[in-house]
Amino acid sequence: MSQSIDIPRVTTAGNAIKTANTNIDNAFRTPQNAMEQLSSSWQGPAGTAVQTVIQELFKFNEARSEVVGNYSRALLELINPSYEGVEMANTNLADLFK
């Protein structure tokens, strides 16, 4: 039994992941910009503690964005074109032995 990969579906998934990642990045950018503007106003231990927690959250977002971006790139750049090329090569080789 032969199985194949649905390339349009892989491409759709890769694009959906890429779009979601961009949307999450944009959602974080607004509070991050606000936080940077407030950092000079927030003084004292409470302000420092809040800034530290929020900066860690932003740092984790950067790592998340990179990982999710790698998944979408793998789907769009590696699996999609590679799969089609391999399938074509296999078909051509099989045709030689018919």
Instruction: Give mean pLDDT, residues 73-91.
Output: 74
Q: Which CATH class is domain 7-96?
A: mainly alpha
Band of residue 67 on the pLDDT scale cut at 50, 70, 90: very high
pLDDT digits (tens, 9 = 90+) for 15-60: 999 999 999 999 988 888 888 777 777 778 887 888 888 888 888 8
Give this prediction's pTM. Answer: 0.67
Q: Higher confidence at residue 2 or residue 54?
A: 54
Whole-number Å distance between alpha carbons of 52 and 60:
12
Q: Who's near 14: CB < 8 A, 6+ residues apart? A: 72, 73, 74, 75, 76, 80
